[in-house]
Structure 1
């Protein structure tokens, strides 16, 4: 199945370049990547689910705001959650028309953060949600405030907020950025082939300020010692669409305690913990991810 790269010019002035497979007008599967990745991580899933034998879906994966070649506004304030979710909502409307919705949103890492917000605030825009290692905002706020292990695991967020983060990440051939993808022993994972590594380097070479600005704009990070507890509005927390959460239990940055109590916010929830998998579950166990999505789409 051919994968094309196109662009949507959204009504509020943002351009989202996206990778797509399948016929326009078919039910939409929308795939959202995270840091420090790009839309191309979903290519195998786009091609698979666009095939008639696997549903003939319209499969779309945007490069999120800030990730080349999509629009990358310069100000930190341009990366507030409300604006990032506005991009995703406008993209769904552009693909499905007025009153339409995505059959499913599939999202990892920062893409998952946007998808949780979209599902809570605009549930009419999606029929199902699949989250891969992306914490629910209520659980993340709780663990950042009360769990010293999660606070320590999230300390990297402060590094990404530094004014010189982009320069430091680019040093030594993106050594630090490749470190985010590495195995626990620091070695390069098997899934990071030379061809895929080249695609990452091309993406990172096009600019890192947008990706870092996600962290700078977010209030969800390990608190300063004198910071008051973060209070999230209730309307951000309840997700009523059918939701499946896949979670690599060896994720060093997002600990399994983030799964605790999810059903209080997400009543139509299935949680699938994956032993031995890390944050990069999409790459490490692609067949498991395909099967989980196929199962969700049959419900």
Structure 2
């Protein structure tokens, strides 16, 4: 059973959350990406709750019923990390594992770098490490082209264009997969009806996109991660190329990298049982 609630945080942000499992059990926290929402983790929440974990999936700021600041500056990384740190505190402190995909991974990399005491482990699913992402945006034409959609999403009319023709462009992000049932499509549209502005503001607030990235430098101390880290990488991701996992061990000292042929960016929908099995194996180490 999935419980839902709106969690107020001390700095004035509210996060709408989904959870399964009893309080007091080891906590797993799951962070979603764009254009998704916390419900994408429901199957994994229930899977791990049945194995003795407390599983929590917040809707990040700007998504679903979470607070939606109007100013794009309020979606800078430091504020997103602050939200998750505060939410972890409401669950009793240190996580057993922080699990994240896409934009959620960008936040999770930041938590693991800045506040490593908050999680014993990190698990990333197709979310580029900022060091390798910056490198590829600056040097790799293929990644620059694959990330060109980001410059569409920062346009002032992006939200209006995304809503055209019954969200044709957003549904196109998923490449019309077999897993997109009518019920799942309805749930996505409910989230998009609530707000697209928040999701687009993630891109507006970030300098890591084609063109803008050329002027960015990131000091090494902002990039290192020293907690045990699983990176599960679907190799057929058309937006995030396989080069993004090359050299990860330069930044992540305790890295387990698993490449998954034949899976796309949407591996959580495509192969949820496989993702659960690999995460379970990681947690058992």
TM-score range, shorter chain: over 0.9
Deviations 1:196-221 (A, max 9, x none): 10000000001110000000000100
What corresponds to 2:237 in structure 1? 251
1:287 is displaced (CA, Å) by: 1.4
TM-fit CA distance, 1:228: 4.6
C-alpha contact 1:145 1:229 (8 A) present in aligned 2? no
In the alignment, which residue of structure 2 is the partner of 1:267? Answer: 253
Q: With structure 2 as the length reference, what TM-score do the two structures score?
A: 0.98
TM-score, normalization by structure 1: 0.94
Cα–Cα, structure 1 residues 176 and 265, in superposed 2: closer, same or farther, change >3 Å? same
1:172 aligns with 2:161: no
Aligned residues: 285
* Counterpart in the other structure of 1:223: 211
Deviation at 1:6, TM superposition (A): 1.0
Q: Which residue of 1 aligns with 2:40?
A: 41
Q: What is the aligned counterpart of 1:209 among 192, 197, 202? A: 197
Gaps of 5+ in 2: none
In angstroms, what is the RMSD of aligned CA positions? 0.9
Per-residue deviation, residues 112-142 of structure 1 (Å, max 9, x unmatched)? 0000010001000000011000000000000
User: Is the counterpart of residue 238 in structure 1 residue 224 in structure 2?
Assistant: yes
Cα pair 2:99 2:122 within 8 Å, conserved: yes
Equivalences for residues 194-205 of structure 1 within 5 A: 194-205=182-193
Question: 4+ residue runs of structure 1 moved beyond 3 angstroms?
Answer: none
CA displacement, residues 166-218 of structure 1 (integer Å, 9 cap, x when unaligned): 00000000000001111xxxxx2111110010000000001110000000000
SS of alignment partner, residue 112 of structure 1: helix
CA distance in 1, matches of 2:178, 2:111: 34
Distance 1:235 1:61 in 2: 28
The answer to whether the 8 A contact 1:7-1:17 is kept is yes
List per-residue Cα deviations over 1:247-297 (Å, max 9, x = no partner). Answer: 111101000000010001001001111101110011111111011110111
